[in-house]
């Protein structure tokens, strides 16, 4: 299965509806909750690959090979909420064969999304992106490395992606790739400053306080501007990043996503 582009507005709407439904359900005691539809496809697929690599040897593909445990049932003996489930997966179960795991937040989100969708998800049909190909596309055809820095390599004009795989979930990253403008977070908004003499400086904000702003301009120079001397200072709301689908096909976007998920800091 390849990653499908997420229709963003409907996703937002669906999130709002899910939140409403969750609120309503919260007032009804002990209803067997149906989780289908609550989890993002990209997270489920990421989780499926992690499950396959880390859990099948004991729990099996269908999740029912440990006696008394049926991971696909959505009902667990020891835990109920997603938070508790993540904690159990991280800590393991002392005194049993269930080991602790060193997963980060996006990996835990993926695994739980997958466990909650396991019943309806065919593990053998998962065709995740290829990390190695993704890295090549990042540096080549996708031209990502012309703007982004990874582990000390590349320009500073766009956010450094060295640890992006541990701070964003698979679904968030996929959305960022396909719709850069729609998903731009405020701290990443480029700024446009007009100096007293009319010179325009476009750049990426590093720091800002009441009196001054520090930014990296388009030529990668560090600039510190005193706000009182500026004619104009605005946050740009259109991302300078082209959607990844401009240069890459669906499988290639999945490959780049798989690569981004391996970026976990300077290890
Ligand atoms: C080395 C074998 C082993 C591996 C690997 C393993 N588990 Fe387990 N797991 C167990 C055993 C055994 C239990 C049952 C412990 C008990 O309750 O006695 C268990 C229990 C669980 C439970 C609790 C079920 C319940 O009903 O409360 C969850 C959830 C779980 N495992 C998820 C996972 C996930 C997700 C992975 C992969 C990241 C994983 N396990 C990897 C052996 C394993
Ligand atoms: C023309 C420069 C440019 C190119 C090319 C570019 N990006 Fe970006 N990218 C940016 C800028 C600027 C931002 C910050 C604003 C935003 O979020 O859109 C960004 C944001 C991102 C984010 C979100 C970061 C966060 O903090 O969540 C990811 C992920 C990303 N880019 C990955 C990529 C990948 C992968 C490619 C190649 C397919 C790529 N970018 C190509 C400039 C670029």
Residue 197 DSSP code: T
Residues flanking ligand 1, CB < 6 Å: 54-55, 57-59, 66, 69, 71, 76-79, 85, 88-89, 93, 96-99, 101, 111
pLDDT in tens, 65-106: 999 999 998 889 999 999 999 999 999 999 999 999 999 999
Q: How far is the CA of 55 from the centre of ligand 1 (A)?
A: 8
Residue 14 — pLDDT band, cuts 50, 70, 90? very low
pLDDT of the residue at 186? 80
Residues flanking ligand 2, CB < 6 Å: 138, 142-144, 146-148, 158-159, 164, 168, 173, 176-177, 180, 184, 188, 190, 239-241, 244, 256, 260
pLDDT > 90 in the chain, percent? 59
pLDDT in tens, 148-202: 999 999 998 899 999 998 888 888 898 899 999 988 888 888 999 999 999 999 9
Placement of tokens 């992106």 in the chain: 129
**Helix (H) or strand (E) segment spanning residue 254:** helix 250-260
HEC sequence for the chain: CCCCCCCHHHHHHHHHHHHHHHHHHHCCCCCCCCCCCCCCHHHHHHHHHHHHHHCHHHHCCCCCCCCCCCHHHCCCCCCCCHHHHHHHHHHCCCCCCCCCCCCCHHHHHHHHHHHHHHHHCCHHHCCCCCHHHHHHHHHCCCCHHHCCCECCECCCCCCCCCCHHHHCCHHHHHHHHHCHHHHCCHHHCEEEEECCCCCEEEEEEEEECCCEEEEEECCCCEEEEEHHHCCEEEECCCCCCCCHHHCCCHHHHHHHHHHHCCCCCCC
Among candidate residues 30, 50, 24, 38, the one with its CA nearest the CA of residue 120 = 38
Q: How far is the CA of 264 from the centre of ligand 1 (A)?
A: 25
pLDDT of the residue at 127? 58
Q: How far is the CA of 10 from the centre of ligand 2 (A)?
A: 23
Q: How far is the CA of 38 from the centre of ligand 2 (A)?
A: 26
Domains detected in the chain: 8-125 (1.10.760), 131-184+241-260 (1.10.760.10), 190-235 (2.30.30.100)
Query: Is this model's pTM higher than 0.85 or not?
Result: no
Q: Which ligand is nearest to the CA of 65?
A: 1
Placement of tokens 């720091």 in the chain: 207
């Amino acid at each position: 299965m390849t990653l499908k582009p997420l229709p963003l507005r409907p996703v937002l709407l669906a999130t709002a509806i899910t939140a409403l439904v969750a609120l309503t359900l919260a007032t009804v005691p002990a209803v067997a909750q149906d989780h289908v539809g609550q989890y993002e496809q990209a997270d489920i697929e990421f989780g499926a690959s992690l499950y396959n690599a880390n859990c099948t040897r004991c729990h099996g593909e269908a999740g029912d090979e440990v006696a008394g445990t049926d991971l696909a049932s959505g009902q667990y003996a020891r835990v109920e909420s997603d938070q508790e489930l993540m904690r159990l997966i991280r800590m393991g179960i002392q005194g049993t064969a269930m080991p602790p795991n060193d997963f980060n937040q996006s990996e835990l989100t993926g695994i739980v999304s997958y466990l909650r969708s396991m019943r309806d998800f065919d593990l053998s049909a998962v065709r995740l992106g290829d990390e190695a190909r993704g890295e090549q596309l990042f540096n080549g055809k996708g031209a990502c490395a012309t703007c982004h820095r990874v582990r000390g390599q590349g320009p500073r004009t766009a956010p450094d992606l060295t640890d992006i795989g541990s701070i964003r979930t698979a679904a968030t990253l996929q959305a960022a790739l396909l719709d850069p403008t729609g998903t731009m977070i405020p701290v990443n908004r480029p700024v446009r400053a007009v100096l007293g003499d009319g010179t325009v400086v476009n750049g990426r904000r590093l720091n800002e306080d009441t009196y001054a702003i520090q930014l990296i301009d388009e030529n990668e120079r560090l600039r510190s501007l005193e706000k009182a001397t500026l004619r104009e200072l605005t946050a740009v709301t259109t991302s300078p990043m082209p959607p990844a689908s401009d240069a890459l096909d669906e499988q290639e976007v999945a490959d780049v996503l798989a690569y981004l998920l391996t970026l976990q800091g300077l290890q």
